Amino acid sequence: MTELEQAAARLCDAGIRRVETYAWRDLDDAEAGGSELHADEIFRRWAAVGIDIVHRTSTADVPREFDRHGYHVIQRGGRFDVFPRVALRQAVRRRPADTATIEIWNGVPWLGPVWAPRRRMVWMHHVHREMWAEALPRPFDAAGRTVETRLAPLLYRRSSFATLSESSADDIEALGIDRTHISVIPPGVHERFVPDASRRSDHPHVVVVGRLAPVKRQRLALDALERARHSVPELSVDLVGDGPDRHVVEAWIDDHDAGDWVRLRGRVSDDELVQAYQRAWLVLSASYAEGWGMSLTEAGACATPSVATDIAGHRGSAIADVTGLLIADPDDLAGALAGGVVGLLEDDQRRDSMARAAIEHARGLSWEAVATRHLDLLTAAVSQR
């Protein structure tokens, strides 16, 4: 019996036969990102060891239900009304004693302590704070920030939390959640991410991976890379991902006449993503908020070091000055990122050393182990009185 199977047996011994989960978006959403991938990687492994999972999310289209990777998906409600819909439905519904609940808190809480005071835990990848100004117009952004940072923590003081990094745990603790209620479980790295030196580009090449959204700051990354080309004129760039900022990125490429050195690839297949990492000399992230910089560890598993902003979600996914460079947020962040990129592109020895360290760092992360740890954490939360 595997460790994951043993963990499933312990959950069953605790009296749980079904797990209901609540998330804002689902994996097939056009704006899906790391949080949705994280949930799918874990749920598919739980389903494989016999756990009955119902995953509820909003829908950008018509309501539907279907099975994916062994677990059941229910998509109902719009992007914003899904939260009150769930809360009202659960408030009048008798919750079965053999059902546990996982809330994936992505900015807006599901108010689980009201309708599921027991047999429940929370996944919170990062605190959103500054992101509210990007997501909502005034004054709604201030209202969202107030709910997340002041009101909701009062409800969730006794809840069990899981997050992705120690730095994100620090941010959650700062909301008023007791640190003893917060567990840090980094995400896994899929075994398909492996080095392949034969694919490495014969000229300096950087990849930027992530949903095209304001929080990811792809325009800032492009500004930095354009500056880097002053010192490394043969530099080329792949942008992998899609999202609401696609038109903004396309406009930047047109305005800077950058079509000959920047390629916007959009969403790609799993195999194409691996090849994009293997081809690059560096991965760059200018994001200002992450739960965990998955592109940094995925690239690292492919022997590709990173240059990234020094934010909570990047500390841990990259080890500063070991697997890559973490750049603090000075007045001229684009210039600082450009300097980091140029420095590593021109220093083969240091880049090779970081590549080896990045492989070792990623090797310690597996989705099977992550799924097991989360299952044991859920069992502990269920057993609390």
Order of strands across the sheet that contains 161-163? 64-68, 71-75, 52-57, 18-22, 99-104, 120-123, 161-163, 182-184
- Is residue 242 within 8 Å of 212, Cβ to Cβ? yes
The CATH class for the domain spanning 197-363 reads alpha beta
CA 111-115-116 angle, 5° bins: 95
Q: CA 183 → CA 76, 180, 314, distances in Å?
A: 30, 8, 18
Nearest to 323 by CA among 304, 336, 338, 337: 304
Q: Tell me: the pLDDT tens digits for 187-213? A: 999 999 999 999 999 999 999 999 999
User: Do 3-188+366-383 and 197-363 come out as alike in CATH topology?
Assistant: yes
Q: What is the pTM of this model?
A: 0.79
Q: Which two tokens stand for residue 271?
A: 């195999």
Q: Where are the domains of the chain?
A: 3-188+366-383, 197-363
Give the distance, in angstroms, between the CA of residue 48 and the centroid of all CA atoms in the same chain. Answer: 23
Would you say the C-alpha torsion 86, 87, 92, 93 has a positive or negative sign?
A: positive
Q: Which of 79-88, 293-302, 330-339 shows the highest mean pLDDT?
A: 293-302
pLDDT digits (tens, 9 = 90+) for 154-187: 999 999 999 998 888 998 999 999 999 999 999 9
Percent of residues, the chain, with pLDDT higher than 70: 96
Q: Is the peptide bond before 139 cis (omega within 30 degrees of 0)?
A: yes
Give the phi and the psi of residue 206 in degrees, each rounded to 5.
Answer: -120, 145
**CATH of segment(s) 3-188+366-383:** 3.40.50.2000
DSSP-derived secondary structure letter, 314: G
Is 295:349 a contact under the CB 8 Å cutoff?
no
Looking at the DSSP bridge assignments, the partners of residue 75 are: 57, 64
Q: If we measure between CA atoms, which residue out of 80, 175, 158 comes closest to residue 114?
A: 158
Task: Give the SS3 label for residue 66.
Answer: strand
CA distance 25 to 89: 19
Alpha helices, H only, the chain: 3-13, 34-48, 82-91, 112-115, 132-135, 140-146, 152-155, 166-174, 218-231, 246-255, 270-279, 294-301, 333-345, 348-363, 367-383
* Chain Cα centroid distance, residue 154: 25
Condensed to tens digits (0 to 9), the pLDDT of residues 215-251 reads 899 999 999 999 999 999 999 999 999 999 999 999 9
Within 10 A of 320 (CB to CB), how many other CB atoms are there? Answer: 13
Q: How confident is the model at residue 137 (pLDDT cuts 50, 70, 90)?
A: low
**Per-residue confidence band for 61, with pLDDT thresholds at 50, 70 and 90:** confident
